[in-house]
Amino acid sequence: MAAKTGRALRFIALRYGNDRRSLFFLALLAGLLGAQWTGWLRHWLLLPPTCALAFIACVIKHNHVHCPTFAGRGLNAALGLVLSLLTGHPTTSIITAHNVRHHRHNNTELDWVRCSLVHFRWNWLNLLVFPFVSVAAMRREKPSDLRDWRRRRPALHRQAVAERVVLYTALIALALADWAAMLRYLAVPWLFGQWGIVTINLLQHQGCDPASAYDHSRNVTGRLVNWFVLNNGFHTAHHLRPGLHWSLLPGLHREVVAPRIEPALNHRSMLAAAWRQFGPVGPRARAEQR
């Protein structure tokens, strides 16, 4: 009996207690999406927090594929389904593009989110079009994950198929029930979240040195912003140890990255970093963009 109880507790246990914050954000997003789609609560002022939470959900999905949230495999698979629904995009679909290509080939020709994909003189234009260009590059160069996983990683293949079946079935059902509400109250936050999680690569890597051990990424170290984005501002540390839980990234940054990185690549404020990179005084010429 004690052994069965221990296995059950392990199944439902979080690997890191800090992920209670992740689940809290997901619950908030689910509540907002549901309330607005059903018509129970609708107001234009709800759009900004819903979009922000959709972006945070994409961050949580990113964290989950690097470092599974639960100790039990079943709950991790279930969370993958939930994240697919809350972001409008299958969770496993980011593995090849992000975990494999981006982390192994950061900002080089084999990286589908490399900053050199965009070349507009005005960097704010690069910010707007980057997701479309990077998705086009991925569609052009990406092999079939499902075909490969079916042969080499059958468990991952089953998870990927389950996510797609659940997500696409839900999309069809929602569209048939009320397509206008779906587009207005679900698709807009989903698209914003996807735009944000792809475009932030420009802030994190544009103008950095991909060949450097530490200067390959730009960091945002402010405590408040990292509370909301689950320490993903510590991007150099994340690249050094992609499987490290997000709660441990500030310590790795403080002990390993900060003494070695170019100080100009650390920013306290995300807004200040974004303004410097994409505002009127940001980089404009192609020669300034790696």
pLDDT tens digits, 95-110: 998 998 999 999 989 8
d(CA 160, CA 175): 22
Cα distances from 205 to residues 122, 165, 200, 209, in angstroms, run 17, 34, 9, 8
Burial letters 246-255, b for 16+ CB under 10 A, else e: bbbbbebbee
* 8 A C-beta contact, residue 253 and residue 234: yes
- The single residue listed with the structure tokens 């540390």 is 237
pLDDT tens digit string along 55-98? 999 999 999 999 999 999 999 999 999 999 999 999 999 999 89
pLDDT at 289 over 60: no
Higher local confidence (pLDDT), 65 or 11: 65
Q: Which helix (H) or strand (E) holds 182?
A: helix 154-182
Q: So what's the pLDDT on residue 8?
A: 47
- The single residue listed with the structure tokens 């974004």 is 274
Cα distances from 123 to residues 87, 231, 269, in angstroms, run 27, 26, 19
Indicate if the alpha-carbon torsion angle 246, 252, 254, 257 is positive or negative. Answer: negative
d(CA 53, CA 66): 20
pTM for the full model?
A: 0.91
